[in-house]
Amino acid sequence: MAQPDHKKFFENLSGAGKAIAVLTSGGDAQGMNAAVRAVVRMGIYVGAKVYFIHEGYQGMVDGGDNIEEATWESVSSMLQVGGTVIGSARCKEFRTHEGRLKAARNLVQRGVTNLCVIGGDGSLTGANLFREEWSGLLEELVQQGDIDAEAAEKYYALHIVGMVGSIDNDFCGTDMTIGTDSALHRIIEVVDAIMTTAQSHQRTFVLEVMGRHCGYLALVSALACGADWVLIPEMPPEDGWEDQMCQKLSETRSRGSRLNIIIVAEGSLDRHGKAITSSYVKDLVVQCLGFDTRVTILGHVQRGGTPSAFDRILASRMGVEAVLALLETTANTPACVVSLSGNQSVRLPLMECVQMTQEVQKAMDEKKFEEAVKLRGRSFENNLRTYKLLAHRKTESELPHSSFNVAVLNVGAPAAGMNAAVRSAVRVGISEGHTMFAVNDGFEGFYNGQIKEIKWGDVGGWTGQGGSLLGTKRTLPAKHIEKIAEQMRKHNINALLIIGGFEAYLGLMDLLTARGKYDEFCVPMVMVPATVSNNVPGSDFSIGADTALNAITNTCDRIKQSASGTKRRVFIIETMGGYCGYLASVGGLASGADAAYIYEEPFDIRDLQANVEHLTEKMKTSIQRGLVLRNENSNENYTTDFIYQLYTEEGKGVFDCRKNVLGHMQQGGAPSPFDRNFGTKISAKAMQWISKKLKETYRQGRVFANTEDSCCLLGMRRRALIFQPVMQLKDETDFVHRIPKEQWWLKLRPLMKILAKYKTSYDVSDSGQLEHVVRNRPKESDASAI
């Protein structure tokens, strides 16, 4: 594909002579600082003047020191800080005409006509009203003599771009708002901690989470921890829910579980509009079942703490996109909001999103709950459907009649989230009427006959467990095909679900090749990618990669903090990933690295020298700490030791150097909310595909599937989850280096360089064109990973 002419692009979109102001408004959210940093640095990069507006709209109305010019250094060390360092406040005065008049005067005095607003729907609606009134406000200011006619003519149009910062994820048009993933991290940390004490005392815990009008946090955290019951505003429970809930809790205990978890969104109501509080739920459980029950209200803990890797990357991408959108606007361009759709940044008309968000509330007020869920978007709808499927066990009479046996196995290195994927597959399979078999220790266990039936209760509590409880090995099946075919025949396996990394992909190809010789492999087979390296062709994301990214980001934060108050220091960090530079590149973006060395982007001694010189220049100003990431296989000669020694020698007298090899800590730990939910949803989808294929290929008393499309990899591509025949992925694969030939995240690398003050070209071929809010996306597009 021809590369866009970057030089020409930046000339056309020069920010010279333009002034951009950034403010955070409404409730704070983790990741807001990353967005502010990206706006400031991208703005300065394109030659614009950038201003902070402190204390949100209140600062805009009050003016004075509240509107302050930003410098490159003024946003250093804020990437990892929660909340918003420029402050946020609710402002009644801005809601009045007089308040907006004062705000307009303060902006015109500084030549600001480009506004980047980070907040919720109220903040963004206020910004749009301000934009619509702008020319009238300027006329008034001219009449009052506050500004002259020349200034009114020069600053005749106000351009607005919004980014949604809200932990509730209650804004229509975007799959994720800034802060939501971090809030989920806080909730899941608490739930994981509570589960250990609940198990010790055989207790029931009722957790109340934020979400006055939106149940996203409650729903997704329930999905991520395998909660027994969840209550959300969008879907009030049917009358008689109290008895149903108590029966469900009692059944869970009777199957040997020592605890129950109930999650309640703070805005939960019943069908008659009566509030369902956490204390009411607790009293209910005590009265009906006599269980020892406790209530935990998480409150503002959910807003606090450091932003997750996902939120830092999301906010950085959105901040850069917002600046590009402001540079491209004309007087006729409607105010837009930068959104996330699947894996893509998109721009949507602000008021279309606001109107749809208001429609959700209207539908809830009118008790049209099904409609409210649909308006929330496919991601929300899919989460709710998946939760119901996994949480509520069907009775024997409700199960569809099926005589199919489906085996599930893990292959390759362990990855956090594998267990959530297995749990999901087992429970969806049982709900579809299949008999589920677990294969221990990958293909090695397969040919050794380590295969046993796995039941609904066997996978209880698996979502929060790291590693692979089934056991996983890197062994490939090619040398043991005959023994595996024998085991398939012995257990009458009619379909296979393989969860794993590149070895799983190679193994699936081996099984496909064996179809010519063994009919046992002429069954539906599907693979779900799970590897920290994120190097499986056919998918933008793999289960486990987000947990690894968070491990890298948190470690980099601590390492950088270790140098605070000491002399200037540069850290060289080595990450995992084989030949795939995903962890180094995206981890570098999330932790504010100065450089990330990877195999996919060859580098030589001149590049290393240029990086050292660049860091030396930065260190001579106010920057105290530098961070350089290196993928483990980026170059066989320029090793981590070599780079460390080079930086140490060349930086003498300016900075000293330390190195750190992160190693297997990137593979361990409890899975992140993203990985739990991605694993759960992608695995559920894979099982539903298996059921469909089994029905299609069942002929004359047996399953026979030998077409290309009966052996697939399920991956996330841009905005959709797609089943791709593995044979078609062959051409997309570099088998020598075990990576896909094309990788989407390489487009994020220039973004990291720009934010680290390098002059570079930025590929804008994917830059969001203004789209429109779609009520019902195409069927396959329920791809939002959370």
Active-site residue set: 168
d(CA 550, CA 738) in angstroms, rounded, equals: 23
Cα-based distances in Å from 778 to 266, 552, 783: 32, 36, 11
d(CA 280, CA 242) in angstroms, rounded, equals: 10
Cα atoms in the 13 Å half-sphere on the side-chain side of 130: 31
Residue 228, classed as helix, strand or coil, is coil
Residue 118, classed as helix, strand or coil, is strand
d(CA 42, CA 37) in angstroms, rounded, equals: 8
Residue 161: φ, ψ to 5°: -130, 130
Asked if residues 640 and 659 have their Cβ atoms less than 8 Å apart, the reply is yes
> Does an H or E element contain 214, and which?
none
Asked if residues 715 and 540 have their Cβ atoms less than 8 Å apart, the reply is yes
What residues contact 417, with CB distance under 8 A and at least 6 apart? Answer: 530, 543, 544, 546, 547, 671, 672, 675, 676, 678, 679
d(CA 498, CA 476) in angstroms, rounded, equals: 12
Its sign, for the CA torsion 377, 383, 384, 386, is positive
Asked if residues 470 and 499 have their Cβ atoms less than 8 Å apart, the reply is no
Asked if residues 138 and 108 have their Cβ atoms less than 8 Å apart, the reply is yes
Residue 525: φ, ψ to 5°: -135, 135
Closest by CA to 443, choosing from 414, 477, 493, 396, is: 477
Cα-based distances in Å from 547 to 236, 418, 543, 552: 33, 12, 8, 9
Instruction: Report the amino acid identity of residue 345.
Output: S
Residue 451, classed as helix, strand or coil, is strand
What residues contact 465, with CB distance under 8 A and at least 6 apart? Answer: 419, 670, 671
If you compute the radius of gyration of the chain from its CA atoms, what whole number of angstroms results? 27
d(CA 410, CA 542) in angstroms, rounded, equals: 14
Within a 10 A sphere around the Cβ of 103, how many other Cβ atoms?
Answer: 25
Alpha helices (H) in 255-308, listed in sequence order: 278-289
Instruction: Report the amino acid identity of residue 673.
Output: P
Cα atoms in the 13 Å half-sphere on the side-chain side of 519: 5
> Does an H or E element contain 245, and which?
helix 241-254
d(CA 618, CA 442) in angstroms, rounded, equals: 49
d(CA 101, CA 105) in angstroms, rounded, equals: 6
3-state per-residue secondary structure call for 478-495: HHHHHHHHHHHHHCCCCE
